[in-house]
Each structure stands twice: as structure tokens, then as C-alpha cells.
């Protein structure tokens, strides 16, 4: 994690020119669920949606759906807006959870657990969106066990690599 002192040590212009850049926000130590009488939800703020473990942990703690909030202004009109919006779709699909993504200058939409956008606002549209969200009650294999397919793929790759190296060594010895 980038701490203020570490960054200021290498980016000397911050102190030299008295650049006001560091906020007083600090990372939390746990996932916070927002509780309502009949359901709860978790909020992923901006870049947090790129980390599958955040949404997975939120669902495991009892979130019935996910909310993503972001400011995509810094992407301008680049493809970054599209990429960032698709990442939140992936979190919904992984957990088969409905999600609501709200962006002040990007894609605002409601997505189901299969990645289908059910309701949306157009890019850069200034409006409010009112829609329905279904609640999550069952957990996927990914949610229950994590990225086991990724771990299995990594293990198979490692085994194949070891086999190729062993085969190469044996060929060198035989020659």
C-alpha cells in the first residue's frame, strides 16, 4: 500500500511545490454491509470492483446484491470507461449476484447475476435511474470456494513445466 511518506520520498515535487494531493481517507479493515429491514448490500468503491475477493467476501458475509460507485471522469472518452464498466459485470457473474453500478460520468446500470444489463442510463447521461433488483440467496462455487479453477490451472501449468524441464534434463544426460 502506498503511504503518504513513501510517496513523498520519491515524488519530491509534492513538498517542493506544496501540492495538495493526499486525502485523509484510509483503507478500511473489513467489508461493511449496509443493512435494510429485508436485505443487505455491499458497496464497492471505484477500483475495488477489480478485486474479486472484495465482492466474494461481501456475499459470504451476507450481502444480497452489490453496488458499485465510481467517478470515471479521469478516463475521458477512452476505452477505459468500457473496460471499467465490464469489470463490475464480471463480479456479478462470478457470484450470480445482481448489481447496481452508479457512475457520475460513465456507465450506470443494473445487472443480473448472468451479466445481462437490465436497465441503464446512456454514457454521460444526466439522469436518475429507478429499477428493481433481485436478491441473492444461493452462493456459486466461486463464492463458496474462491478461484479454485485458477489454482487448478496454475497447478497443471506448474506440473507440465516440471515435466518439460525433467524431459529436457533427461535428454541432456542421455546425449
pTM of the model: 0.73
Q: Which domain holds residue 94?
A: 30-139
Q: Does one domain contain both 134 and 64?
A: yes
Q: In what order do the strands lie in the sheet with 40-45?
A: 33-35, 40-45, 65-70, 99-103, 108-111, 117-121
DSSP string, the chain: ---HHHHHHH-THHHHTT-----S----SSPPEEE-SS-EEEEEEGGGGG-HHHHHHHHHTT-SEEEEEE--GGGTTSTHHHHHHHHHHHHHHHHT--EEEEESSS-EEEE-TTS-EEEEE-TT---------PPP-S--HHHHH-SHHHHHHHHHHHHHHHHHHHHHHHHHHH-
Q: Does one domain contain both 43 and 129?
A: yes
Q: What pLDDT does residue 161 have?
A: 97
Domain assignment present for 169: yes
Nearest one of 128, 83, 126 to 105, comparing CA atoms: 126
Q: What pLDDT does residue 7 have?
A: 63
Q: What pLDDT does residue 123 have?
A: 84
Average pLDDT for the chain = 86
Q: Does one domain contain both 106 and 154?
A: no
Q: Does one domain contain both 52 and 128?
A: yes
Domain assignment present for 85: yes
Q: Does one domain contain both 120 and 63?
A: yes
Task: Give tens-digit pLDDT for 96-120.
Answer: 999 999 998 888 999 999 999 999 9
CB 56 within 8 A of CB 97: no
Per the model's pLDDT, the better-predicted residue between 126 and 111 turns out to be 111
CB 143 within 8 A of CB 94: yes
**Overall domain count for the chain:** 2
Q: What pLDDT does residue 11 have?
A: 65
Q: Does one domain contain both 46 and 127?
A: yes
CATH number for the domain that contains residue 42: 3.60.110.10
Amino acid at each position: 500500500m502506498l503511504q503518504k511518506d513513501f510517496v513523498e520520498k520519491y515524488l519530491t515535487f509534492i513538498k517542493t511545490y506544496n501540492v495538495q494531493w493526499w486525502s485523509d481517507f484510509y483503507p478500511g479493515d473489513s467489508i461493511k454491509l449496509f443493512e435494510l429491514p429485508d436485505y443487505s448490500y455491499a458497496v464497492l468503491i471505484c477500483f475495488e470492483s477489480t478485486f474479486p475477493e472484495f465482492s466474494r467476501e461481501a456475499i459470504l458475509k451476507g450481502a444480497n446484491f452489490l453496488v458499485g460507485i465510481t467517478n470515471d471522469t479521469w478516463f475521458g472518452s477512452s476505452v477505459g470507461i468500457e473496460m471499467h464498466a465490464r469489470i463490475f459485470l464480471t463480479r456479478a457473474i462470478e457470484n450470480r449476484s445482481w448489481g447496481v453500478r452508479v457512475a457520475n460520468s460513465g456507465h450506470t446500470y443494473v445487472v443480473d447475476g448472468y451479466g445481462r444489463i437490465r436497465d441503464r442510463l446512456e454514457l454521460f447521461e444526466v439522469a436518475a435511474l429507478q429499477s428493481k433488483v433481485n436478491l441473492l440467496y444461493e452462493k456459486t462455487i466461486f463464492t463458496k470456494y474462491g478461484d479454485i479453477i485458477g489454482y487448478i490451472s496454475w497447478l497443471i501449468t506448474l506440473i507440465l513445466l516440471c515435466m518439460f524441464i525433467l524431459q529436457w534434463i533427461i535428454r541432456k544426460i542421455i546425449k
